[in-house]
Amino acid sequence: MLGVLATRVELQDVATRAQLATLAEHTQDAPQREALLALTGDDDAGQARYREQVFVPHKSILDLLDQFPSCALPFEVFLDLLPPMRPRYYSISSSPLVASDTCSITVGVLEALARSGQGRFKGICSNYLARLSIDATVYGFVRKPTIPFRPPDNPHVPMIMVGPGTGVAPFRGFLQERAALKQRGVPVGESMLFFGCRDPLQDFLYEDEMRAFEAAGSRGCSRSSRASPTNRRPTCRRRSRTIARTCGVCSSRRRWSSSVARPRAWHRMFVRPLPGYFRSVPPPRLTTRKPGSPDW
């Protein structure tokens, strides 16, 4: 039963109002039952209470069972309320041109104070991967992106990439592909990567590789650590507009200019979480490797 709870169902999802109504049905204490029912109302006041007390603090069914101890929820009912565990998708951060039978993913381990104020929140998949021993087997699958997300089919076309944090993962694969093509004598266009990190001494991901790409001719592998917003934003806009005019990657200058003016649009265009591409290669078996090892 522990295996079912640990690997088959979602325990940390925010409780829905329908689930709160089920909890109220099994709550023996009248004041606690009324408090639960007050969170299920369809009126504006009930929705506001639900948002403030459950949705915003991200309270799960388990959190509510601790908060309302008189709720004697039968285990089979509790299990029936839990949704099945959903797959976690990560972008592939390598190129099949480098190793056709191997792929890598880049995962940030999520662990922080819980929004509810009780205990710590740990990402299920990221912490599972972090606990694995070296050479452990991970079972997964490769999903085709819902929209095209890959380097330009023409390697001569210049390429602009923007990805903060682990959002740099797919672009590492893009750069690997262009580096591999260049080693084979194929002329490749300029590649420009912009990414950010809070502390370059701690989270400059793939630093050695990025510097090697830049030394090999991938222009502008630029990082941005903490800086004054007054100094950062205008420079970013001016430089990006210049790149758009010289490289012509976007479909129109108008779209690029409006996107530069709105950072959220940058996120939609470049950093949207998508599964990685793995063209014409069967799904590999993923094994863990030590950072810095030859096959890492």
* Residue 72 located in a structural domain: yes
240-289 pLDDT tens trace: 444 443 343 322 233 333 333 333 333 222 323 333 333 333 344 444 45
pLDDT (0 to 100) of residue 266: 31
114-131 pLDDT tens trace: 777 778 888 888 999 999
Say yes or no: 164 and 76 in one domain.
Answer: no
Residue 291 above 60 pLDDT? Answer: no
* Residue 140 located in a structural domain: no
pLDDT (0 to 100) of residue 191: 86
137-189 pLDDT tens trace: 888 888 888 887 888 889 989 888 887 666 888 899 999 999 999 989 999 88
d(CA 202, CA 90): 21
* Residue 113 located in a structural domain: no
CATH of the domain at 63: 1.20.990.10
pLDDT grade for 209, boundaries at 50, 70 and 90: confident
Say yes or no: 163 and 264 in one domain.
Answer: yes
* Residue 138 located in a structural domain: no
Residue that wins the pLDDT comparison between 275 and 35: 35
Residue that wins the pLDDT comparison between 54 and 254: 54
pLDDT grade for 102, boundaries at 50, 70 and 90: confident
* Residue 110 located in a structural domain: no
* Residue 192 located in a structural domain: yes
pLDDT (0 to 100) of residue 167: 80
Pairing mode, if any, of strands 120-122 and 221-224? unpaired
Residue reference for tokens 């970013």: 236
Tell me, yes or no, if the pTM score tops 0.85: no
Which of 47-56 are b and which e, b meaning 16 or more Cβ less than 10 Å from the residue's Cβ? eebbeebbbe
* Residue 277 located in a structural domain: no
Length of the chain: 296
Say yes or no: 163 and 261 in one domain.
Answer: yes
* Domain limits for position 210: 159-270
* Residue 250 located in a structural domain: yes
Look at the chain and report how many structural domains it folds into. 2
Domain boundary among 21, 46, 81: 81
